[in-house]
Structure 1
């Protein structure tokens, strides 16, 4: 695994690289608690995002991580919890 922590900046970069951003959405604004659908990211965009996170961090995520974590804040927390579990298991 190349990185130990997943940040909101990492998520924003990966979202932009994978799916871009809707014209009316400012990812530099206060998006932490906005639902991904409100930000213009549907399930296909989130699957692409998940794939990019998996490749970059060398991990395998369950699809449920995106259905259970519908905001950037909760997704970042969930991914960091998963990374922490992997680190303590190593």
Structure 2
């Protein structure tokens, strides 16, 4: 649902990239999308490594990093959502 809303925002002619709000909107949502793609690639890489038996019982540092990265993305998503769609 949010991806559809963001897509609609990206095609809205009222959001001109030359306008200050439009430029910040595109920069922020684009940076967020890059973080999502990188995070998804990291988690997929972790899943492949887990399938191959890479992780031992006490060796889960990369999994913790992935968890905290996704927690960061959640907070970032909520902030972006509030700033651009509710204010």
Classify the TM-score, shorter chain. Answer: 0.3 to 0.5
Question: RCO higher in 1 or 2 (8 Å CA, sep ≥ 6)?
Answer: 1
